[in-house]
Every structure is written in structure tokens, then in C-alpha cells.
Structure 1
Amino acid sequence: MWQTGLRLAKRLQEAGFIAYFAGGCVRDRLLGQESHDIDIATTATPEEVQRLFPQATGLHGRVFGVVRVPSADCSFEVATFRRDIGTRDGRHPDHVVFARPAEDACRRDFTINALFFDPVAERLIDYVGGQVDLVEKRIRAVGNPSQRFREDKLRLLRAIRFAANLGFSIEQETWHALQDQAATISLVSIERVRDELDRIWSGAAPALGLDLLDRSGLLAQILPEVSALHGVEQPKEFHPEGDVFVHTRLLLERLHHAPLSLAWSALLHDIGKPVTGRTDPSGRIRFFEHEVVGARIAHAILSRLRQPNALIEDVVAMVANHMTFKDAKQMRPATLKRLLARATFPLELELHRIDCLACHGDLSIYEFLRTQLEELPPSDISPPRLLTGHDLIDLGLSPGPRLGSLLGAVREAQLNGQICTREQALALAELLIRSSPKPPRPDRDPTKPL
């Protein structure tokens, strides 16, 4: 990708234009990290870029001055150096004017993202002190922080994301401006908020992200249910670490570049505790069915953020199921096998592990389940069913709820190891059909003829 971008920049320069790599790809290269895209900034106008690269698409002209130039294995955004004018919606400039490189750098969000690199001359261009901030691991707004955040409210979350994922601090003036404008995050579309949260939770340091969101005031604005975990006390014999917020943070502290469904499940696994907490007559704190209530709250949160249905289903299932692990050693074989066969079980097991490490530290159930998973072959955990509904109909059973109930009983016996062949399953089905009472016939309506 770098070499292809170099060829594009070189062609622009040979045509008499300035052309630099810009923004994140420069930052990542200086940090020794891989970039997934390369943006090119140039003095060429969009029309001039398109004349040089006829394959260019997405011409925005006067609006943003950006075109996309596809290549064999990727595509590049080529943008004309610009200056933004006005911002009535707190997200986009009212209009833009083409400008020189230094002016373009000054309209960007943070100094570490305002660096340019000439790939032909192999020269760094830094108008805003971004190189020093990279070395000192600091997130600092370009120019006036309050103005930068007023121009684009999404930058409030981007500052948190960069600080958490890079392990940087946020410069004091930038931090104060962020706190002052935290309430205005409501002006940003929920999809953009969601995308930034996803990058934080699945990034290098989600616990740091949680801390920064909390201290900045953004957490209370975006995820008030998580903010409400503060001060929710727990039984000290099981949770010596502290309240539910502290416990949740400790789970996130053990996640680094985790699958998104696991990260959201860790954040929301005890989200039902604030509304289910009770102190019994003996003085013990209890949270009856907090996993059930929590699953409903998790569904509401993720739906509000417009997460994909598949993610919502997985997280809700993991939140609802996380308390079943405590009974694993006492489970009947069939119940245990159904637990192991769950599509989300590997992530649920990891959630259980970090949940234990964040409180009492007892991993005996985790080790037990790992052993079961290693020792039981997949064919034993979830063997093919021995009978179908058609088999029971052939035995004289009519379609209906009774058919499903008997199929479930046969499956239970199979998973418990009581039967293992089709013949045994048929014999059990016949026995169950003979021994179970037939449903009563409905009374005849006397107003209707026979």
C-alpha cells in the first residue's frame, strides 16, 4: 500500500502539485504501527486530480474537495488542502475553501493527526508540534481546543479513543475543554458514537477508555446505565474489590483487543445490579435475577446504539447466561453438554474467567469446564439427534406440543448417556407415548351441529 501511495504522490508532484501523505498513516508510521489506509493531501483541485487519475470516483468538488483513487488492491482518498468555514451542526463545516498545507494542518483535530509526510523526498512536515507530542505521548488539540471541539463534537470521543488505544495522556487545556463540552456529545449521530465506543472497548486498553469517559462526563451522557454502577455495594466475601463499577473496570483491565461481543459483555454483565440490589434481614446484599434484568437492559442499550442484531443477540445471551457457570460442577450431563455446545461458549468461558479474577480469584469452575471441553469430543457434546418429529408421527403421535415435549425427553436421555442408538430412542419414545396421558378432547360446542 505504501509503495502504491508513493507512486500516486509522485505523479501528482511530477504534474507540478504538492502531494503529501496526511494524518493517521503518518502518525502510525512514526509509531512503528501498520496503517490500514493512506490519505493523500495535495494542492491539486478535485478536477485536476481526476484528470490525472481518470479512474477516480466520488468527486465532491467544492464541498470537501475529496476524491477516491482506486488501485489494484486498495483505494486512496486524495484531498485538496483546505480551510473549513463555519460549523452550524457541530459535525461538518458549512463550506470549505482550498488553502495551503499549513492552513490545512491547523484545521485538523489533534497535533498527532496533523502531520504530513513527503514520501518522495522522505521528509516529515510538522506545522503544529505533533512530532513532539508523539514522542511525549500526548493528545493535544490543534490551536484552540474549545474551538476544535465546537467544530466537530465527535472529536470529544476521538480524544478518548486515541488516548486509550495509544496509551497517551490528554493535554490539560484539551482535557478541560473536553469536560466543558461533554454534554454536547448528544449532537453527534448515535451511529458515530457507537463506532467510537466499539473502537475503545475492542482496543488496547478499554479500562483506560472507561476511566477517561467517566472522568470527562461523557459516560454519564452516553451510557448512564454504566455510570450508575458507581456506589452499588456488593457482598465483601465475594467481592472484596469494591462496588460494581470497580468490578466492571477490573474485567475491562484484562481485555486487550478483545472480540467486540466479549468486550460489551464484560462491560454490561452486571448492568442489572443497580435495579435488583436488596439487603435481606440478615444484612446480606443480594441481586436476585440480576442477570435476567441485565439482559433486558443490555438489549435496550445496544438497540439504542443501533448495534447489529447478531452482536445484540450474542451479548444478551452472554449476560443472561453468565451466572449459570457457578452450577457447572453439579449439572446433569445433558445440561452441561448444552452449555458447552452454545455458540458463544468460548467467549462466555473467557467472560467467566475474567469475572472470577476481578473478584474472588477462584478459577476452579473455569478449569473444570476447560477440562470438559478438552476431554469431550464434539460428537459427544452435540451428537446428531436420534429421532425427528416424523418418527414420532409414524408411531401414531399427532403434531402438536406433545410431540415437541417427547422429542425433548428423548434428546435429554441421549445427552445423559441413557440411550445411544436409534433403536433405543424408538423404544423410549414408544414407552413415553404409552405412559403419558393423552390430552383431553375439547368439549363440543352445543350450538354447532354434529
Structure 2
Amino acid sequence: MERNAEYLSAKALVQKLVNHGYISYFAGGCVRDHLLGLPTQDIDIATNASPSTIKSLFKKTILVGEQFGVVIVQQDSFHFEVTTFRQDLDYKDGRHPEKVVFLTDKEDASRRDFTINGLFYNPLTEEIIDHVGGRKDLELKIIRTIGSPEKRFQEDKLRMMRAVRFAARFDFPIDPQTHRAIQNKAKDIHQVSKERIRDELCKMFTGNNRGTALQLLNETGLLNEILPETLTASPLFSTNVPKNENSSVLFVTRKLLDQLPDKPSNALAIASILHTIPPPKVDHLCKKWLLPKKETRLISHYVSTQMCFTDAMLWRQGPLKKKLQSPSILEELIYFKALCQTYNLRKELENHTFCLTKLDLYSHEELHPSLFVTGKQLVAWGYEQSPLFSTIIKKLEILQLENHITTLQEAKNYVEKHFPNH
């Protein structure tokens, strides 16, 4: 594990707990990633010290779930989640335990979701503590629940989606028994809040092996429960899609997801999943899954205009510059390129290169000139406020972008000729 500032700060936190007579380890994902040789994200800490004891030992703490034994400790410039070893009893709501009993590290490990997430690491001795066979499963490269998969998924239904995400992220297969349990309980995913499902989907499809994640969602039956619309749509183009695929739309969507760059935005990833669905339905689905308004607007825009660059090389300078003004133009072009690659549209792909070249060629002033005419200017010329103002201003902007109008007087002459004020 990299001995960076965060690691040293977390180690000092563990040392303090040990100095006061408590057991304390790094826990969960950071240990897993360390053993896989991956950069560790957040370092979580588990201990047999009670929440009240943790609060008394550290100056800056935030109690986020005393009943679950969770305290945030601020150490140096870092925030560490410190959890008391516990055993969860009865999950009546499919997410939160009705009762928590604080016990030992072994019992704490047994309540976690997957074996690869049930490991502990002692930073003082550099020892791995494994009560659940997680180290072996990392060597076997397999996603397996700790104990009965039915019980683990009954406790928290979202764990079914997490199994898919981890399998895709690490390119590990899901243990057959765990896989069957997901298939049998897939319908229970509706008991999970839309916000949690949305967040899991976004993590899944902005990570690596996105196409694999989609395939696993389909194989486990989760995709049919969450986004059945993606299975009944048709590819944008029937050409260049293998006829022997079980689902041609699933094939192209997988391929599109894999064409995206590393760490795509939520908007780009979700637009790719929904690219075969009519735009009005896309907007509805985004709202159904409670995506933020800004992301919903972007996703709807990407899907509704996804092939708009097909003939960009034939556009006049004005409309081209107007399109290149878009704040999301780079992502729109990334999306268009991925679509062309997915459907093997080589001729159309030339327009992507053309637009990038023009974007690099034009200066900011050429793409975003100060407009000669506004609504106030039209009123000053004697025009009454009306919906026509928008049409006039847009027309003048295009002419200005094409350098057909270069002065205010030329703009006035054009308006008086083409939009006489009667």
C-alpha cells in the first residue's frame, strides 16, 4: 500500500487506538485494492472501540450513525470513516439492520457483502487478516458472497448490482451460486430506492469494462427489471450488426459503451445506454431514475441530436460555427465518434475529424463574437416587442458568423429590408 500522506495519517489513527488498548485495522475496499496492486481510494478503519470512545479520543469527529457504529474522524486534512466491529441482526427494510451488536473483527467480517471486501489490514504489522476466504477468491479472481448469497441479498438488495459492478470492474466472473441467487431475486431490486439504483448504474457505466457490466446485468435478469426498454428497442442502423447475436440492440449498446473514453461522464454513459430509445422516452427515463436536471438535459440533447454531424462538411460557415459554440461540443463529438465506430460508419466519421479541425482553427472571438443586435436595439429601431425578435436575432447571428454582416448599420439595413416594420 502506498505510504502517502493519507496512509500515514490513517496509520497514526490506528496507532492511537492501539495505544489505548483497542484493536484497529484498515478494512474493506482499500485492502482489496492493495492486494490487487491497484491505487487505494478511501481508507476505512474498523475497530473494537465504541463510537463514544472514538469520539472521546479524537478532537474532530462527526457521528453519522451511532446505532451502526460509524464515526467520521478528521485527521490532518483527511476524513476517515471509523466503524466499530459489529454484527447486523434482521434487515426488515432490505437495507438497514433492525439491530446492531458490537462484537469482534471476525463477526464484523462475516456481515460484509463479498469475500474480497471482507479483508482487514494491520498497518502496524503489515499483516492481512482474512476470516472469510477473501484472499483466496482474489487469487481465484471470483466474486462470491460471504456465506449464503440469498441471505446477503435479502439483507440489502442493492448488493446484486454491486456484484455485477465488481465483476465488471475487476473482470472477475461471478460465483455460480451467487449468480443464480441474483437471477432468482432480480425482481426484488424494485425494493431499492431509485437514487441508490441510479448511483450504482452511474458507477458501473463510468468505470471500466462497461460493456461487460451491461452483459452481466442482462444475464442476471437485472437489466430487464431496471431498463427493459433497452432490450426491446432496435439498433440505429441494421447494417454492420451481426445477425447471429441473440440481441442485436444489446450487441451495439455493449460496443458503444466500450468505444467511450476512460471515465466518461454520467451523461455520456447513460446516453449511450439509451441511444436506441426515442428522445421523449429518454427524458422520461432520466426523470424516472431521478437524474439531476443538468444531466437529464445533456442526455436528452445527446440522444436527440446524436447523428447531427453526419453531413457537417456540407454545412455553411454560420450554422457550423453556431453548432461549435455549444458548451458540450467536445463531448457531443466524442459521442458521435463512438456511434460511428460502433456502427462502422467510416464516411460519416470523417465529419468528426472535420469538426475537430474547425474547432481548433477558429478563435474564441470568431466563434463567440459580440452580437450587433439585441432586443433592445430592435426596440430602439422602432420595432414592437414580439416573438419575431428571436427569429431576427438568430438570423443576424448566423449572418454575422458568416461575415456577411460586419457593422451595426449593415444589420439595420438587413432588418429593414427583410423584416419591414409596418
Asked if residue 132 in structure 1 is aligned to residue 116 in structure 2, the reply is no
Paired position in structure 1 for 2:20: 15
Cα distance between partner residues in 2 of 1:401 and 1:20: 67
Q: How many residues align?
A: 411
Equivalent residue number for residue 101 of structure 1: 105
- Residue number in structure 2 paired with 1:285: none
Confirm whether residue 359 of structure 1 aligns to residue 343 of structure 2. yes
**Could you tell me which residue of structure 1 aligns to residue 29 of structure 2?**
24
Structure 1 residue 78: deviation in Å? Answer: 1.2
What is the identity, as a one-letter code, of the residue corresponding to 1:372?
A: K
Contact 1:248 1:266 in 2 (8 A): yes
TM-score computed with the length of structure 1 as normaliser: 0.87
1:42 to 30, 47, 56: 47
* Distance in 2 separating the partners of 1:67 and 1:239: 52
Matched, 1:56 2:53: no
From the superposition, tell whether residues 45 and 358 of structure 1 become closer, same or farther in structure 2 (CA, over 3 Å): same
**Which of these residues, 29, 38, 41, is aligned with residue 33 of structure 1?**
38
Between the aligned partners of 2:370 and 2:235, the Cα distance in structure 1 is 46
The reply to whether residue 263 of structure 1 matches residue 263 of structure 2 is: no
Question: Residue 127 of structure 1: CA displacement?
Answer: 0.7
Q: Note if contact 1:318-1:344 (Cα within 8 Å) is conserved in structure 2.
A: no
Q: Given the superposition, is the C-alpha separation of residues 349 and 122 from structure 1 closer, same or farther in structure 2, using an over 3 Å criterion?
A: same
What is the CA-CA distance between 1:40 and the residue it aligns to?
1.0
Runs of 4+ in 1 over 3 A off after TM superposition: 232-242
Partner of 2:3: none
Instruction: Name 1:388's counterpart in structure 2.
Output: 374
Q: Counterpart in 2 of 1:162?
A: 166
Q: Is the 2:230–2:276 Cα contact (8 Å) retained in structure 1? A: no
What runs of 5+ residues in structure 1 fail to find an aligned partner?
A: 272-293, 439-450
Following superposition, the deviation at residue 178 of structure 1 comes to: 1.3
1:67 aligns with 2:51: no
For 2:9, give the aligned amino acid: T
**1:138 aligned counterpart, secondary structure:** coil
Percent identity of equivalent pairs: 37
Unaligned runs of 5+ in 2: 1-5
Instruction: State the alpha-carbon separation in 2 of the partners of residues 320 and 224 from structure 1.
Output: 20
The separation in 1 between residues aligned to 2:385 and 2:228, in whole angstroms, is: 48
Deviations, residues 134-162 of structure 1 (Å, cap 9, x unaligned): 12221111111111111111100110111
Q: Which residue of 1 aligns with 2:280?
A: 296
1:173 maps to a residue whose letter is: Q
Change (3 A) 1:87 1:235: closer
Counterpart AA for 1:125:
I
The reply on whether 1:151 has 2:137 as its aligned counterpart is no
Give the AA of the match of 1:6: K
TM-score of the pair, normalised by structure 2:
0.93
- Structure 1 residue 375 and structure 2 residue 361: aligned? yes
Q: Partner residue of 1:448?
A: none
Task: Give me the CA root mean square deviation.
Answer: 1.8
Greater radius of gyration (CA): 1
Aligned 1:204-283 pairs, distance under 5 A: 204-229=208-233, 232=234, 236-237=238-239, 239=241, 243-255=248-260, 256-271=262-277
CA distance in 1, matches of 2:389, 2:109: 70
Distance 2:372 2:88 in 1: 68
